[in-house]
Structure 1
Amino acid sequence: MVRISIVFCALLCFGIAHAQKEIECQTKLSYFHEKVKVKKYDEAYDDWLYVKSNCPSLSLAIYSDGEKILEHKIKHTEGVEKKGFIADLIALWNDRKQYFESRTPKGEFAAKSCQLQYDHKEELGKNNNELFDCFDRAFKADRTTFTHPKSLYTYFFSMVELFDDEKKSAAELFNIYDDVNEKIEVEIQNYSEKLNALIAKLENRTTLTSKEIRTRKAYESYLKNYALIKDNIDAIVDKKAKCENLIPLYLRDFENHQNDSIWLKRSVSRMYHKQCTDDELYEKLVKQYDKVAPSADTKLYVATVLLKKGKDEEANQYLEEAFRLETRPYKKSKIAYRIGVILMNKNQYVKARNYLVDALKLNPSNGKPHSVIAHMYAESAKNKNCGKDNFYQRAVYWLAAEEVKKASRIDPTLQKLVNQYVASYIAKAPTKEEVFLKGLGGKTIQIKCWINRSVVVPKP
């Protein structure tokens, strides 16, 4: 009986102690959370550490707030102390996965850990091979949530560093480039489609809520960052991937990969973008790609081969088939844009504009089709069929300027380029004196030829 009483008392004491600890955790959780909200991270640290150590499964705030606290500590410490906080943050992300696995995306947090180690590789003594392997494991484990632009760029660049040190081959470099580039394309599509939904609201004259305005800015920021890193990695690969390097590489590997649609797609795409299309290997790759995995993309590549051979009529049939085969709006928009550019380069401006207009309808957040249409207008300014005299012919530049302005209104990433084009077009348009002498200021004039559009003459 005495033994039972002792056990009961022990359990009672344990229960009371546990309840007291939980109350204390709740109190300290509230305290550090309020401090974090006003960015008083040093004051929040001790209470946060107590809750994390004693009640690790109490709240997700332990980990979301803890990340901010430790990032602050890392930023404001040096030496051994800093290394300790870096280790603590990596451990915190691992603990978060243990206690809140469903709310801790594997790829996202593994990439965060790798990025932290890369950013502090000197202090941690990490070499390029270790860091690349870290990113590579994270990407392959869960590429769906490995989305942060900076980490995607660092993953690729860590491969470049190994390639430059002659520790990785050209084939390995190109494979990582393709993986990262394709992932960026997926994210650009994702945010473009989300942004298109908000643009559709504006076009329907629906006022965006304050939350939607913030969301739109966030989407535009992500698109800008993805475009920036895409340009950067393309520039790096452009220096590494030259036709004289690509052709022997693909000739060597063709037999082993001739039925691999992914390898064929990447090989054709790289040779196309590097303008290695004169080599007979390009045609061989294109035909094999179309045979193994016929799609809108393959039809497009076959069309480029036919156009190069002067078989325009047959090529146009392939272009039409490429557009018809693609059914997904975002992808179909990309196909329409590429066809538009191809036809522009063949001086088939009417057909090119039709496809570019389709591209805009399918993906309203992409301003590039406007800039291509504007370029075609500007190229036609000297066409005598577009105006009865020099004044009317040069009036086309006003139309080009108005068209290219539309690009930056829907795609802020193009603002700098648009400004350059507008300045160039306006400089070539009729002067204020010419407008005054013609007496046409503020009037609408018709642009003829293939353009068949009107433009308002600026008042002098």
Structure 2
Amino acid sequence: MNTKVLFTIAAGLVLGTSSVSAQATDCATTASIAYEHAKVKNWEAAEAPLWKVRKECPTHSVATFQFGKKLLEAKYKKAAAGTAKTTIANEMIALWKERQQYFPAKVKLGDMHSDIGQIMYDNKIGTKESQFAEFNKAWTEDKKNFSSPKKVYTYFYLLVELQAAGKKELQDVFDLYDGVIEKIEDEESKKAKIVSELTEKEESGAALSSKEKKRLKTYDKILNNYSKVKAGVNQKLGELADCKNLIPLYNGQFESKKSDINWLKSAASRMSAKECTDDPLFFKMVEALHKADPSAKSALYLGILALKDKNTSKALEYYNQSAQLETKASDKAKVYYKIAEVYRKRGSYSKARANYKKALANKPSLGQAYLKIANMVAKSANDCGTDVFSKRAVYWLAERYALKAGKVDASLKKTAAGTAANYRAKAPSKTDIFNNPEIKSVKIGCWIGETVKVPKL
């Protein structure tokens, strides 16, 4: 190879390297300009350089897509409904997919696919099947990061609509319903546990930090949203899951499914929840389930049947077996709640409270348990107080339990507030407190065994 050829190749390599270096420098400069404008939300100035970086050097930084998302969200919010909004919605979908292409490790699939599904649904982009497919990817590929209450509801809503159109099976709806309710209740329990802890800290007289106050307010809003979604999902399921539909469906499936443990558990659970337990099919299911796989679930259903036969002691025996065998916290809570209800109806308030508290330990969002404890406390006012003041003071404790119910379960807020107000009206008045300045707290006897502080005037 002669000198002239070698010189030409070397020059080309130098020029190529210089060109790449220059492009990298240009990308960095343009990105810097775009990001600075984006940081102060000057979207008009940020748009041109941001899209230049996105087009010419998409792998430069994930910040390009992060700021791009915020820019498009700002435009989407301002856009008029119709074509303008739909155009931006399609741009957002394209941007999310590009981010996944260039920065897959920086993408949460549950977030991305549910975002795409929701914006498609909101703007009538594609068919219901294609909208549902995006949510389904989020659910099956990354359920952990599919947690938005609104998106969870839309996902279920679309499946019900597709089933009504004959494009999905009724069993598909039931299966997703189980998953959605489980997801909602798991999220509720996580948030309610924190709310309960912060509430107890506040009640003890300790001041909450600004961060804790903000967290309490945020979680309260989230719990409220999940409560609405759960109500919406149950309403949407509506008559689809009533006994008149469940019994013929499961009767038709029983012979082919009676050795399928998962099917038996799911079907028996739904029939129990919808109180279809009087039908002979329920007994056949329980019998088959207990024979195939003696478990927490089969013990629970045997307890239900024993209670129907008015054999309370046998029912409690089965329920306690179920609670001990159950490994899933939310289901364990339901069993303890049933046990508590048996004791409450028998007037064994101490044992009832102990089991309500076991239920709450497993499912902190079970506000109904607090209301039941409040009711038992209030009913015991005359028995557990020693004089007029202490008997009426019992209602302060009942009020406290009632208020907790509304804090951990947003669906009970109104009921809890009304119940608490009723108890408060029966408690010592301001005049009573003023006339008894030496009383700072009241120790309540009998089965209650708790101390309640006298409110400050």
Q: Tell me which interval the TM-score lies in, with the shorter structure as reference length.
A: 0.7 to 0.9
Q: 2:52 aligns with which of 50, 53, 58?
A: 50
For the Cα contact (< 8 Å) 1:299–1:319, is it kept in 2?
yes
For the Cα contact (< 8 Å) 1:195–1:365, is it kept in 2?
no
In structure 2, distance between residues paired with 1:197 and 1:37: 37
Q: 1:105 aligns with which of 91, 108, 114?
A: 108
CA offsets, 1:229-262, max 9 Å, x none? 1222123224432222211111111122223333
> CA 1:414/1:101 → structure 2, altered by over 3 Å: closer, same or farther?
same
For the Cα contact (< 8 Å) 1:435–1:441, is it kept in 2?
no
Q: Which runs of 5+ in 1 are unaligned?
A: none
Residue 146 of structure 1 corresponds to 146
Pairing 1:2–2:4 present: yes
In structure 1, distance between residues paired with 2:333 and 2:192: 11
In structure 1, distance between residues paired with 2:295 and 2:317: 14
Q: Report the more deviating stretch, 235-244 or 42-51.
A: 235-244
> CA 1:455/1:144 → structure 2, altered by over 3 Å: closer, same or farther?
closer
Residue 417 of structure 2 corresponds to 419
Residue 40 of structure 2 corresponds to 38
Residue 349 of structure 1 corresponds to 349
Deviation of 1:154 after TM superposition, in Å, equals 0.4
Q: Which runs of 5+ in 2 are unaligned?
A: none
Q: Residues 316-331 of structure 1: matches in 2 within 5 Å?
A: 316-326=316-326
In structure 1, distance between residues paired with 2:239 and 2:184: 20
Q: 2:99 aligns with which of 83, 96, 99?
A: 96
1:37 maps to amino acid: K
Q: Residues 12-411 of structure 1: matches in 2 within 5 Å?
A: 12-77=14-79, 80-121=83-124, 124=125, 126-165=126-165, 167-191=167-191, 218-326=218-326, 332-333=332-333, 335-345=335-345, 347-361=347-361, 367-380=367-380, 385=383, 396-408=394-406
**TM-score (structure 2 length as normaliser):** 0.83
Deviation of 1:30 after TM superposition, in Å, equals 2.5
Residue 13 of structure 2 corresponds to 11
**Structure 1 residue matching 2:143: 3-state secondary structure:** coil
1:101 maps to amino acid: P
CA offsets, 1:387-414, max 9 Å, x none? 6899976664443213222344566665
Deviation of 1:373 after TM superposition, in Å, equals 0.6
**Structure 2 residue matching 1:58: 3-state secondary structure:** coil
CA offsets, 1:330-387, max 9 Å, x none? 6645543443245435544322111122334455565543222112223456xx7556
Q: Report the more deviating stretch, 288-297 or 257-266.
A: 288-297
**TM-score (structure 1 length as normaliser):** 0.83
Deviation of 1:88 after TM superposition, in Å, equals 2.3
> CA 1:193/1:446 → structure 2, altered by over 3 Å: closer, same or farther?
closer
Q: Report the more deviating stretch, 166-175 or 32-41.
A: 166-175
| Aligned residues between the structures | 454
In structure 2, distance between residues paired with 1:392 and 1:340: 27
For the Cα contact (< 8 Å) 2:227–2:410, is it kept in 1?
no
In structure 2, distance between residues paired with 1:148 and 1:433: 45
For the Cα contact (< 8 Å) 1:199–1:365, is it kept in 2?
no
2:162 maps to amino acid: L
**Structure 1 residue matching 2:277: 3-state secondary structure:** coil
> CA 1:297/1:120 → structure 2, altered by over 3 Å: closer, same or farther?
same
2:419 maps to amino acid: Y
Which structure would you say has the larger RCO, counting Cα contacts within 8 Å and 6 or more residues apart? 2
In structure 2, distance between residues paired with 1:213 and 1:392: 33
CA-atom RMSD in angstroms = 3.9
In structure 2, distance between residues paired with 1:291 and 1:204: 50
In structure 1, distance between residues paired with 2:216 and 2:392: 38
> CA 1:64/1:437 → structure 2, altered by over 3 Å: closer, same or farther?
closer
> CA 1:451/1:192 → structure 2, altered by over 3 Å: closer, same or farther?
closer
In structure 2, distance between residues paired with 1:438 and 1:347: 35
